Amino acid sequence: MSSKRWQLLHPILFALFPAIFLFAHNINQVPIVEVLPPVVFSLCLVVATLLPLWLFFRDIAKVGLGASIFVVFLFGYGHIFLAITRLLPLCSNYRIHSVLMPVMVCGLVCSELLIKKARRHFITTTKVLNIVSSALIVISLTNIAVYKLRTFARRNYAINTENTETYTAAPSASSRLPDIYYIILDRYSSAASLKEFYDFDDSEFVDFLARRGFYVASQSHANYSCTALSLASSLNMKHITYLGKTEGEKTDNWLPAYSMLTDYRVWRFLKSKGYKFVHLGSEWDPTSRNKYADMSFNLFGASEFALAVYKTTMLRPITRLLGITDPYMERYKRVQYQFEALSTLPAIKDPTFVFAHILVPHEPYTFDENGNFLSPEQADKRSYRENFLGQIIFVNAKLKALITKLQADCDIQPIIVVQSDEGQYPQGQYGFDLELASDAQIREKMGILNAYYLPDVNSNVLYPSITPVNSFRVIFNLYFGTELELLPDDSYISSNTHIYRFINVTDKLKSDN
Q: Catalogue all structural domains in the chain, each as residue range(s) with its CATH number.
A: 2-152 (no CATH), 180-300+323-512 (3.40.720.10)
Burial class (CB in 10 A: 0-12, 13-18, 19+), 270: buried
For 296, phi then psi, to 5°, come to: -125, 140
Phi, psi of 484 (to 5 degrees): -80, 130
pLDDT digits (tens, 9 = 90+) for 385-395: 999 999 999 99
Say if pTM beats, i.e. exceeds, 0.75.
yes
Q: How far apart are CA 335 and CA 332, in angstroms?
A: 6
8 Å CB contact between 423 and 222: yes
Cα angle 76, 77, 78 (rounded to 5 degrees) comes to 95
Predicted local distance difference test score (pLDDT) of residue 202: 97
Per-residue model confidence (pLDDT) at position 174: 47
From residue 483, alpha-carbon distances to 163, 219, 356, 454, 463 in Å are: 16, 25, 27, 17, 18
* Segments in 88-157 forming alpha helices (H): 93-117, 123-152
Residues of the chain under the 50 pLDDT cut: 1-2, 153, 155-161, 163, 171, 173-174, 512-513
pLDDT recorded at residue 130? 93
Question: 465, 427, 419: which is closest to 199 by C-alpha?
Answer: 427
Task: Select from 451, 368, 467 the least CA-distant residue to 417.
Answer: 451
Q: Supply the pLDDT for residue 318.
A: 79
- Those residues whose C-beta lies under 8 Å from the C-beta of residue 236, and which sit 6 or more positions away, are 159, 163, 260, 264, 265, 266
Instruction: Return the pLDDT at 181.
Output: 98
User: Taking Cα atoms as reference points, which of 458, 457, 345 lies closest to residue 410?
Assistant: 345
354: helix, coil or strand? strand
User: Rounded to a whole number, what is the largest CA-CA distance in the chain?
Assistant: 88
Classify residue 127 by burial, with Cβ atoms within 10 Å: 0-12, 13-18, 19+. Answer: middle
Average pLDDT over the chain reads: 88
Q: What is the DSSP letter of 357?
A: E
* Region at 276 (left for phi over 0; alpha for psi -120 to 50; beta for the rest): beta
Q: What pLDDT sits at residue 369?
A: 95
Query: Residue 59: what residue type?
Result: D
Closest CA to 68 of 50, 87, 95, 83: 50
Residue 264's pLDDT is 96
Residue-wise pLDDT tens digits, 411-448: 899 999 999 999 998 876 766 778 888 899 999 999 99
Residue partners of 294: CB distance under 8 A and separation at least 6: 276, 277, 278
* CA–CA gap between residue 402 and residue 406 (Å, rounded): 6
Q: According to the 3-state scheme, what is the secondary structure of 245-297?
A: HHCCCCCCCCHHHHHCCCCCHHHHHHHHCCCEEEEECCCCHHHHCCCCCCEEE
